[in-house]
Chain A
Amino acid sequence: MNIKIAASAAACALAFSSAVLAQAPAAPPAWKQGMGDKFKDSPLAPNAAKNTETPASEIPIDKFKVPKGFKIEVWASGMPGARAMVRGDKGKIYIGTRGIGRVYEVTDAGDKRTNRVLVDKLTQPSGVAIMGSTLYVMAIDKVLRYDDVENKPDAMPEDITAKFNLPPEQHHNWKYLAFGPDKKLYVPFGAPCNICEPSEQYAQIRRYNPDGSGMEVIAKGVRNTQGFDWHPKTGELWFTDHGRDWLGDDGPEDELNRITKTGLNFGYPYCHAAGVVDPDVTKADKKATACKDVTKPVALMGPHTAVMGVKFYTGDMFPAAYKNTMFIARKGSWNRTQKLGYDVLHAVPSADGKSVKMTPFLTGFLDAKENKFLGRPAYLMQMPDGALLVSDEQLGAIYRISYSGAPAKK
């Protein structure tokens, strides 16, 4: 007991010994730069993450709707904050998270799944990518490589952070990662604010050789992309991008973009969506030209919908019409009075790639009447049998969507 009290006192002292540093005056806070006066009394705030496990029995799977002939089931659960998923050659699945600082490993035993924490205590390790059995994990300030991860459960990772030259700002610099068809690692660097003129390390997509060498900036003016994939036929990179906050409920909309060549400018911070000139950072004499030479999105994805993962479907399980078309997850809005998104869309690109036709695919997460959400679909992954996995960041679950053509059982 005495020990406990002594420890208490020490801890209390320790917690507050942090030095008070002098501060230079600076710009308004990142998230509310550009928060107009009409939002003065707005009660809008980011949605709370859920850090505790949600048991499978508490997931309202019956409320989630898929088109006729498809079926959705809870495939794995108990992984708070689950985001992007990658699958190794041997079938193990690795899942990144943000706040909770973990990367999960899921082992599929056919009829059931088990999971464990591969690594924890990282600062927002949302980026995961795998090449064979070599796993790459990227946190805001760290890059780790796990060689032969599926066979060596206790192997220590190689810390390859130094090679990547990561900039210091945290906001919007949590990662989505993927290897391209060129076997290079594609990494986004978001704008460290809601709206600002970021320094040249930010608001872009880069690619690297897997060891961190050979860095190239391949796209600029990208505010915050949290998902991309390559068209199976054309090899072009398609990416989603979040529009800025605090310009009202109806815009600027989130985006779906296509990279036809490297070096394109996608508009941030001066030109949003299909040509919305930013009222806060664009100087008066630049307004007329703010959208000049800016590559416009292929599609607008709805205002504040937080469009996340995008995946081209190449499997054989779904009807043929789904081949080489996209699934796109929208995690759902916070900066909007009436919530929007919280679904997965099916998007069919036109032959020239200049437009897409979109229809809802997975719905039921949003209760529009109550203005409440049940879950937040975030990322997509195709399994070898052609089934589609969807991660739900809010409920820490993975759903499996399969197709048999049979009508759903009542």
Chain B
Amino acid sequence: MLIAFFAPCLSFVAAAQTATAPPEAQACVTCHGPDGNSVTPNVPSLAGQPRVYLENTLVLTREGLRGNPVMQGLMKGKKDVQIVAIAKHFAALPVRPPAPTADKALQKRGRDLAGKLRCASCHDKTFRGREQMPRLAEQREEFLEARMTVMRDKPPPGTDTIMNATLHGVSNEDLKALAHFLSQLR
């Protein structure tokens, strides 16, 4: 039954000419999209995330320190080598950007803010992330906004305190603009 359910996803992945998901990653595609690009609101895309970011996040998910209960359940008992395989898989998948929207003013506000707050010194000047710093460019907009809000207001245990410090005092409106700019970046 599982196989039947996942068969379409697997063929989709093959069609996109990407590596076949390791068995450990197959339960992830229901939420995160068959090719790692999420089409579900509030679920982030994993495609093209830096491998180190994925690895470290997934270890913390296994430890029960972050993520949601479903993911914690899926990651429970996973060996580090399996985590490395999952991370490698998603890191290598190509990113499919969200549909373009045309709020030029909001984009500009976000771009200016990102410059002023020097987000690129960590997330890379392309905002595609590096090492433990996640990719922000072309990520789902509502996810970015919500994630920044919790990181600013009450970072869950297991979150690097650096983002809490970085977003200290940034207004909700500014978070919206940052999320829009980053999501629409090409």
- Which of the candidate stretches B15-23, B91-99, B120-128, B178-186 sits at the interface with the other chain? B120-128
Q: Which of A7, A22, A47: most chain B Cβ within 10 A?
A: A7
> Interface 1/0s, chain A 19-51, versus B by CB < 8 A?
011111111111110010001111111111111
A32 nearest CB neighbor, chain B only: B118
CA distance A107 to B160 in the complex (A): 31
Let me know if B164 and A170 touch, CB within 8 A.
yes
Let me know if B161 and A171 touch, CB within 8 A.
yes
Does B84 interact with chain A (Cβ within 8 Å)?
yes
Does A14 interact with chain B (Cβ within 8 Å)?
yes
A312 to chain B, nearest CB (A): 32
- Which of the candidate stretches A60-68, A97-105, A215-223, A295-303 sits at the interface with the other chain? A97-105
Let me know if B158 and A99 touch, CB within 8 A.
yes
> Interface 1/0s, chain B 40-56, versus A by CB < 8 A?
11110000000010011
> Interface 1/0s, chain A 172-206, versus B by CB < 8 A?
00000000000000000000010000000000000
Q: Which of B56, B84, B158, B168: most chain A Cβ within 10 A?
A: B168
Let me know if B40 and A12 touch, CB within 8 A.
yes
- Chain B residues bordering chain A, tally (CB within 8 A): 58
CA distance A13 to B43 in the complex (A): 10
Let me know if A48 and B52 touch, CB within 8 A.
yes
B158 to chain A, nearest CB (A): 7
CA distance A135 to B145 in the complex (A): 42
CA distance A41 to B118 in the complex (A): 8
CA distance A39 to B122 in the complex (A): 12
CA distance A164 to B162 in the complex (A): 25
Residues of A within 8 A of B52 (CB): 48, 50
Does A211 interact with chain B (Cβ within 8 Å)?
no
Q: Which of A7, A41, A121 contacts B70 (CB 8 A)?
A: A7
Assess A11 versus B68: contact at CB under 8 Å? Given A1-B2, A51-B60: yes
CA distance A25 to B171 in the complex (A): 7
CA distance A343 to B153 in the complex (A): 37
> Interface 1/0s, chain B 147-186, versus A by CB < 8 A?
0011011110110111011111111100000000000000
Q: Which of A20, A27, A35: most chain B Cβ within 10 A?
A: A20
Does A53 interact with chain B (Cβ within 8 Å)?
yes
A352 to chain B, nearest CB (A): 40
Q: Contact residues of B with A, CB < 8 Å?
A: 1-2, 5, 27, 30-31, 40-43, 52, 55-56, 59-60, 63-65, 68-71, 80, 83-84, 117-118, 120-122, 124-125, 130-133, 142, 146, 149-150, 152-155, 157-158, 160-162, 164-172
Known: A14-B69, A46-B132, A52-B84; 11 extra A-B contacts, CB below 8 A, are A5-B30, A11-B69, A11-B70, A12-B31, A12-B40, A30-B165, A32-B166, A48-B133, A121-B63, A123-B157, A170-B155
